[in-house]
Amino acid sequence: MPCGKIKRLLAAALVVLAWLSVPALAQEGPAPLTMEAAVDEGLRANQGIQAAQAAMARAEAALKAAWGGLLPRMDLTYNRNRIHNNSESSERDADYLNQHATNWSINLRQPLFYGGALVNQIAKSRLERTRQELLLRQTQVELASDIRQTFVNILWYRAVARAYAKSVERLRGHLEAAQAFFQVGEKPWLAVLEAQVDLAEAEQNLAKARNQERVFTVKLQSLLGRATEENAHFAGELADFVLAFPLSREDCILRAQTQRPDIRALEALVEMADKDILITASEALPRVSLNLGYTDQHTDYDNYPKAEIDRQYVSGGVQLQWNLFAGGQTYQGVQQARHEKTRITAKRDEATTQARTEVTQYFLEMDDARARMDVAKRSMASAQEAFAMAEVRFKTGEGTATEVLDAQTRMVNAELSLVRARAEYLQAQFALLRAMGALNANELGS
């Protein structure tokens, strides 16, 4: 075949291969989502985060409005009136003559002293903005923890399903062997029945595990702000995340009590209660303001055009207002604000105690799961060796089907114990991060 023809055939083949590869690439789904990528997506798209951000923006606007209370107020007033006198024509009072009257005025009021109410209102608004920032942070911490724990549940039940899938495959092989031995008269029918029962139970457990994985997948998609029917694949293995925790229990408790956002938000509320006391007490103090005004008055009489009035006025002065007696309302308002501060202080102290309890609980749960992981690893190695020996004995006719099934059960249980210990270790660790107010483990070094 000529060399040129061979080159043309090769080029055509390359074009065909490239064309065939395009649909395959187009059909590829989105890349699997890792745990931290899921956290990042949730922090951007979750509706609870968006609501907390809106609350923070509202607090920022309230602070700006409080600052506006220190600035002067300017009012513009405009009036146009028509008076038609139906009395006797001898009426000479200028206020009752037929006329068109136009008045407009502009007034400026500058607060000079309001008993500290305006300044304390600004301070309270600033504290409220800080509180909303802390509540946003708390929402982010809780959401990150929920996403990670749900992610762990997905990986947990995926590992459980994988263990039961391997068990089903082994039990099917064992059932086939039992049937073969029964047909040649080397094993009783009871061995076949036992293998069938164990296989059916393993298949049921496999179906349950897969269903639980789907349930937590739907929950995770909801936390990420996705449509629950959206296809998603989450990547990772439980063993990938099992790492040593860098802090001691006392370090965790100290961090929780000093940096946990919900506790700091309650501390901001206590300070806000102090400002409320001062704001309420300021109602018993005088209020002083500076008033400036300009008025333009024009009156046009129907029958006396020469008597037309056109005047302009400029006014200025200082106004003092002092509420000397309010029926005890100011005093009781101050008492009410003090009781509210006592209530919030108690809530803060309760939250601090609760933080210590939660940190201790999750730290101990994490240590317990770590110990169980070590035991489960040794147990699984022994169970795998025992199963292999029981299967050899069964196939050589020295062992029974019951021995094989029991060894199979012990091996699956050992594997599931290791999976469960890893999952519970991670869940306790992520709950511990939330109890400390940490968004992720990287913050623990700061």
List the strands of the sheet with 287-301, edge to edge.
Answer: 73-83, 99-113, 287-301, 309-321
Q: Does a structural domain hold residue 205?
A: yes
User: In terms of residues, how long is the chain?
Assistant: 446
Q: Does a structural domain hold residue 91?
A: no
Instruction: Decide which of 422 and 178 is more confident.
Output: 422
For the entire predicted model, the pTM comes to 0.78
Instruction: Decide which of 264 and 2 is more confident.
Output: 264
CA atoms 109, 113, 118, 119: torsion sign:
positive
Q: Does a structural domain hold residue 121?
A: yes
Mean pLDDT along residues 316-330: 88
Q: How far apart are alpha carbons 232 and 41 in whole angstroms? A: 13
DSSP character string of 178-228: HHHHHHTTSS-HHHHHHHHHHHHHHHHHHHHHHHHHHHHHHHHHHHTT--T
Predicted local distance difference test score (pLDDT) of residue 244: 84
Predicted local distance difference test score (pLDDT) of residue 26: 40
Mean pLDDT along residues 284-310: 86
Predicted local distance difference test score (pLDDT) of residue 27: 44
Q: Which domain holds residue 127?
A: 31-71+114-286+322-445
Q: Does a structural domain hold residue 391?
A: yes
Is residue 90 pLDDT above 60, yes or no? Answer: no
Predicted local distance difference test score (pLDDT) of residue 11: 54
Predicted local distance difference test score (pLDDT) of residue 209: 92
Q: Does a structural domain hold residue 247?
A: yes
Is residue 2 pLDDT above 70, yes or no? Answer: no
Is residue 261 pLDDT above 50, yes or no? Answer: yes
- Domain count for the chain, please give it: 1
Q: What is the phi/psi pair of residue 93, to 5°?
A: -65, 125
Is residue 344 pLDDT above 90, yes or no? Answer: yes
Q: In the structure, what pLDDT confidence band is assigned to residue 28 with cuts at 50, 70 and 90?
A: low
Q: In the structure, what pLDDT confidence band is assigned to residue 299 with cuts at 50, 70 and 90?
A: confident
Q: In the structure, what pLDDT confidence band is assigned to residue 191 with cuts at 50, 70 and 90?
A: confident
DSSP three-state, residue 312: strand
Residue 413 maps to which CATH number?
Answer: 1.20.1600.10
Cα distances from 89 to residues 98, 196, 305, in angstroms, run 10, 120, 16
Q: How far apart are alpha carbons 182 and 48 in whole angstroms? A: 62
Predicted local distance difference test score (pLDDT) of residue 3: 53
Predicted local distance difference test score (pLDDT) of residue 325: 84
- pLDDT tens by residue, 98-118: 888 899 999 999 999 888 889
294 in Cβ contact with 76 (< 8 Å): no
Predicted local distance difference test score (pLDDT) of residue 23: 45
Work out the burial of residue 30: count CB atoms within 10 Å of its CB; fewer than 13 is exposed, 13-18 middle, 19 or more buried.
Answer: exposed
Predicted local distance difference test score (pLDDT) of residue 216: 92
Is residue 171 pLDDT above 90, yes or no? Answer: no
Predicted local distance difference test score (pLDDT) of residue 89: 57
Q: In the structure, what pLDDT confidence band is assigned to residue 5 with cuts at 50, 70 and 90?
A: low
Q: In the structure, what pLDDT confidence band is assigned to residue 208 with cuts at 50, 70 and 90?
A: very high
Q: In the structure, what pLDDT confidence band is assigned to residue 444 with cuts at 50, 70 and 90?
A: confident
Cα distances from 358 to residues 140, 152, 249, 251, 426, in angstroms, run 18, 20, 11, 14, 16
Predicted local distance difference test score (pLDDT) of residue 10: 53
Is residue 38 pLDDT above 70, yes or no? Answer: yes
User: Tokens standing for 350?
Assistant: 């309760």
Is residue 368 pLDDT above 90, yes or no? Answer: yes
Q: How far apart are alpha carbons 324 and 328 in whole angstroms? A: 11
Mean pLDDT of the chain: 85
Q: Does a structural domain hold residue 362?
A: yes
The region of weakest confidence among 44-53, 119-128, 299-308 is 299-308
Mean pLDDT along residues 401-411: 78
Cα distances from 57 to residues 95, 144, 209, in angstroms, run 54, 22, 44
Please tell me which of 46-50, 61-65, 228-232 the model is most confident about, judged by mean pLDDT. 61-65
Residue type at 225 in one-letter notation:
G
Helix and strand numbers (H, E) in the chain are 10, 4
186 in Cβ contact with 394 (< 8 Å): no
Q: Does a structural domain hold residue 300?
A: no
Mean pLDDT along residues 50-76: 93
Q: Does a structural domain hold residue 194?
A: yes
**Residue 293: which of 77, 83, 39 has the closest Cα?**
77
Predicted local distance difference test score (pLDDT) of residue 20: 47
